[in-house]
Chains A and B, each alone.
Chain A
Amino acid sequence: MRRFKSMQALILATAALASATPALAQSPVSQSPEARLAAYRDRVERLEAQDAVENLQADYGYYFDKGLWDDVADLFSKDGSFEYGQRGVYIGRERIRRALLLFGPNGLAPAHLNNHMQLQSVVVVSKDGNSATGRWQGMVMLSEPGRNGVWGVGIYENKYVKEGGVWKISSLHFYPTALTDYDLGFMKSTLPMEGMSALFPPDRPPTEVYRTLPGNYIPPFSFDHPVTGKSLKDLPQPPDDVLGRK
């Protein structure tokens, strides 16, 4: 990614003349140098956007791990939304700031582990370069005094927006899919998710009702199949006898 910085120098130097030219996705060699540069600027900006979104989400994880709730909330756009498991949807940066206190006090309490690793990103930047989506694998390691350690895993499906040149989270949705006791493992222990808080209720109920293992659920993909281009939003969901889904 360091190479982008020097490429950025070129892009900035030529931005003045490139801005007058419409950006094209592909640039045949027959095009004028100005048109080609405009197209390249567009492509480099998309690469930079992807890089910025990856860093933003990694940063979210680092802040969330340590209970730095103000820093977490500040990563959201003003009208951004936050949804974690079956807790429901909190809308707006200031609502999110308070909702995060449901995960513990500001700053991580003693003897707590709250690791939410942000891994395996598939980021897609929109055509106009002003928004993006990202799917992430979320590995979770938790502990608190008086309880055994917990392993967890889940999927993030997030949306991002560029506001005033700065990338922000416009929608974060974490779907935990399996949680277990550290010693027992998934064969002997499957832990449920928290539900909606009565203390500080969400603005909306969960957008999708599902449960963790022993249930199974496929969080809809934000990106299309990379080869066939087909949508992966409506993959058939596995049956669930409680939900009555066949």
Chain B
Amino acid sequence: MKMRILLAASLLAATTALSTPAIAQDKTAGQKLDQLESRITRLEDLNQIEILQRTYGYFVDKGQWTQLSELFTDDATLEIGGKGLFLGKARVLEYMQTAFGPDGAKPGMLANHMQFQPVPDISADGKTGWVRSRAYVMSLGGWGLPLYENEYRKGEDGIWRISRLSGPFTMYSSWEGWGKNALNNTWPDKFDPPPDLPPSTIYLTYPAYYIVPYHYPNPVTGKAFKPDMDEVGAYHRPPGTPEQAAALKVGRMVDGTQPIAEPPKD
């Protein structure tokens, strides 16, 4: 009996401390424990999807394509740069092995995709997760900045996997640096293999910019990000300016080049 009073007291204290709504008063201890469990599970899940994304990066660094593909659900989609959509785990593996060579780290090769700055979220039912994060690419050829808006799914087996990887590019530059050189975005037929579907969005990379929609609202105001729904969705000036309106009419040329300061070198 004493134990139960202590338990109730501590749970009540915790409820106040956690500043959850006061309606908790008529909940049973069991219900409060259920709530506590779901909150702990959420923290663990947030960690787990961050670890998945970081592990993805460690595998990219060392060309571990088979290990990488096993991070994905069977029906996952992958879209990187302007290359288009690859459907399913098997195609994720084919994309990596065809575009970047067979499994394994190669002498003389550096292609680090360092995974930084995650903003993870988990759905209310605990079965879906999202991460907005970036890769900072440090490679033989220079610097790169993919941005991710990825989705993760918790399987029946309780294991999280990547269900959607979308990594539009912010900027790619040679070792000369982004003050002097900007590589254009990739496009479907730039290199093998061809994608299953064309790019979901056509956009320009730096010195223009594209804002991949946020999976979450502004954390302070709660306002959702409103993507520009015009046909190009690419900006070389902030949305709402005349320059941006003009950019919407330019877009990507048929050969994949884009109007930037220097002609593409690749």
Contact = CB atoms under 8 A, between A and B. Distances in A.
A7 B18 contact: yes
Interface string A1-37: 0010011011001101100000000010100011011
B40 A226 contact: no
A16 B57 CA distance: 43
B33 A10 contact: no
A217 B138 contact: no
Given A226-B55, A227-B70, A227-B161, A13 B107 contact: no
A222 B110 CA distance: 22
A151 B112 CA distance: 13
Contacts of B57: 120, 137
B47 A50 contact: yes
A107 to B, nearest CB: 29
A57 B29 CA distance: 39
A9 B17 contact: yes
B214 interface: no
Contact of A6 (B6, B17, B110): B17
The A interface is mostly helix, strand or loop, or mixed, namely mixed
Contacts of A113: none
Nearest to B57: A120
B124 to A, nearest CB: 17
A47 B47 contact: yes
B160 A226 contact: yes
Interface in A176-198: 177-178, 184-188
Nearest to A43: B40
Contact of A10 (B10, B51, B105): B10
B175 A13 contact: no
Contact of B107 (A122, A139, A216): A216
Given A9-B14, A227-B159, A235 B138 contact: no
Interface stretch (A59-67, A81-89, A237-245): A237-245
Interface string B62-98: 1010010011000000000000000000000000000
Given A14-B10, A40-B37, A47-B43, A29 B71 contact: no
B116 A119 contact: yes
Nearest to A217: B105
A40 B36 contact: yes
Contacts of A227: 52, 70-71, 159-161
B259 interface: no
A13 B10 contact: yes
Contacts of A235: 62, 64, 67
Contacts of B48: 226
A33 B29 contact: yes
A23 B262 CA distance: 63
Interface in B1-56: 3, 6-7, 9-11, 13-14, 17-18, 29-30, 33-34, 36-37, 39-40, 43-44, 47-48, 51-52, 54-55
A109 interface: no
Contacts of B14: 6-7, 9-10, 13
A100 B10 CA distance: 48
A10 B30 CA distance: 15
A103 to B, nearest CB: 22
Given A6-B18, A120-B57, A185-B142, A33 B33 contact: yes
Contact of A187 (B43, B55, B136, B141): B141
B116 A239 contact: no
Contact of B70 (A223, A228, A240): A228
A52 to B, nearest CB: 14
Interface of B: 3, 6-7, 9-11, 13-14, 17-18, 29-30, 33-34, 36-37, 39-40, 43-44, 47-48, 51-52, 54-55, 57-58, 62, 64, 67, 70-71, 104-110, 112, 114-116, 136, 138-142, 159-161, 175
Given A187-B140, A238-B107, 14 more contacts: A10-B10, A13-B13, A27-B37, A33-B29, A120-B57, A122-B58, A137-B58, A139-B136, A139-B138, A187-B141, A225-B70, A226-B51, A226-B71, A235-B67
7 closest A-B pairs by beta carbon, nearest first, are A185-B175, A10-B14, A13-B10, A6-B17, A238-B105, A216-B105, A214-B108
7 contacts: A10-B18, A13-B9, A47-B44, A119-B114, A186-B139, A217-B105, A221-B58
